[in-house]
């Protein structure tokens, strides 16, 4: 009998392979060379120090949004609201970064902490409604994405600025950016946030696998009735899982505000970080290590794709189709699991 751990490794790998093959077929149909296309993608992600820096920069929020979605998944919850939690966390970090004067050892941690708290507060509401009233978290979190988007735009225009489209730059004491890192990577936008993201992954692993809280959250995710019968507080664990999930997403927003951009502009639409985090969590099998590896893949795809139109002539629209195919097959991983089991049974 094939172990569940082997499935968790094999299924995502097959999903990525099928997605890349589907992308290659699409390129062939439209008259493009898939080898040249994927070589351009690779060079665009890892071709030199600048591209490597940009890839790491993109991977950073993907790790955190992937952790956010994965943590909720472990409690049997589907947090579609990571996108809104990212936006709120971004605003909170920039707010602290532009309005408070303090030494870096206070200012920077405070900005990240407030961002995490902002994401946690936004996630608390759907968690509470799910735990106490049985309201489905998918519906509530989707609604909160729009509440967050338009509320944040209003705050930027009417509170943080005088009807401007973007805030002031954060103070240097709240910045994750580094002149040394920029110089090392040919002035890419890479910043120290990657260390925060890796630390967050370690924290998630520790909570889920080494603590009583993590055990109860996993138990609730497997079976709420059995958990309740065993004396666990199901409502408390649902709310707690959503709050921690929101904190990870809010922290992802702070990476953009304190690292990549150093300010916040009016959001014409969603950034996509929270939605991509769903695919990252699925591909990573909702584990901390898996999320890191999946985030590296998606970060490389996003950054490397920018090089495909210029170096291989593949239009940007087709690049988006290729990425969408990969995401589709990642989401279809449970179908792949069923096919593997079917072939295994027929082989006996």
pLDDT per residue as tens digits for the range 182-219? 999 999 999 999 999 999 999 999 999 999 999 999 99
> Could you tell me the two tokens for 206?
């520790």
pTM of the predicted model as reported, rounded to 2 decimal places: 0.93
Burial of 231 (0-12, 13-18, 19+ CB in 10 A): exposed
Residue spans of the domains in the chain: they are: 61-299
pLDDT at 348 over 60: no
Would you state the structure tokens that stand for residue 211, as one six-digit string? 């603590």
Least confident of 9-13, 40-44, 140-144, 341-345: 341-345
| Torsion angles phi and psi, residue 35, rounded to 5 | -65, -45
For residues 326 and 12, what is the distance between their CA atoms, to the nearest angstrom? 10
pLDDT at position 318, please? 77
User: From CA 308, how far away is CA 130, in angstroms rounded?
Assistant: 44
Express the helix, strand and coil content of the chain in percent, nearest 5 each. 80, 0, 20
> Distance between CA atoms of 36 and 44, rounded to whole angstroms?
12
Give the Cα separation of 278 and 293 in Å (integer). 14
Q: Cα–Cα distance between 168 and 191 in angstroms, integer? A: 19
């Amino acid at each position: 009998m094939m172990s569940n751990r082997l499935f968790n490794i094999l299924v995502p790998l097959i999903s990525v392979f099928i997605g890349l093959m589907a992308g290659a077929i699409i390129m062939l149909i439209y008259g493009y060379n898939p080898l040249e296309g994927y070589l351009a993608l690779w060079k665009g992600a890892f071709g030199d120090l600048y591209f490597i820096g940009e890839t790491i920069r993109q991977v950073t929020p993907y790790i955190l949004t992937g952790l956010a979605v994965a943590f909720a998944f472990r409690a049997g919850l589907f947090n579609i609201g990571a996108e809104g939690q990212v936006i709120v966390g971004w605003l909170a970090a920039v707010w602290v970064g532009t309005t408070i004067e303090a030494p870096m050892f206070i200012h920077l941690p405070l900005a990240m902490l407030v961002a995490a708290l902002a994401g946690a507060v936004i996630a608390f509401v759907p968690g509470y409604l799910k735990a106490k009233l049985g309201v489905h978290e998918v519906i509530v979190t989707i609604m909160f994405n729009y509440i967050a988007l338009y509320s944040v735009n209003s705050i930027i225009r009417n509170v943080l600025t005088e009807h401007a489209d973007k805030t002031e730059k954060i103070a240097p004491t709240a910045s994750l950016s580094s002149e040394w890192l920029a110089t090392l990577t040919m002035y890419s936008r890479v910043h120290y946030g990657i260390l925060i993201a890796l630390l967050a992954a370690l924290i998630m692993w520790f909570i889920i696998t080494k603590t009583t809280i993590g055990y109860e959250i996993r138990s609730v995710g497997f079976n709420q009735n059995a958990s309740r019968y065993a004396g666990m507080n199901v409502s408390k664990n649902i709310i707690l899982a959503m709050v921690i999930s929101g904190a990870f997403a809010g922290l992802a927003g702070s990476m953009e505000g304190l690292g990549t951009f150093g300010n916040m502009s009016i959001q014409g639409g969603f950034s996509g970080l929270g939605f991509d985090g769903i695919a990252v969590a699925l591909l990573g099998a909702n584990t901390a290590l898996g999320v890191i590896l999946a985030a590296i893949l998606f970060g490389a795809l996003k950054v490397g794709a920018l090089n495909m139109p210029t170096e291989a002539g593949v239009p940007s629209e087709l690049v988006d189709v290729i990425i969408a195919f990969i995401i589709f097959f990642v989401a279809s991983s449970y179908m792949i699991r069923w096919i593997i089991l079917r072939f295994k049974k027929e082989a006996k």
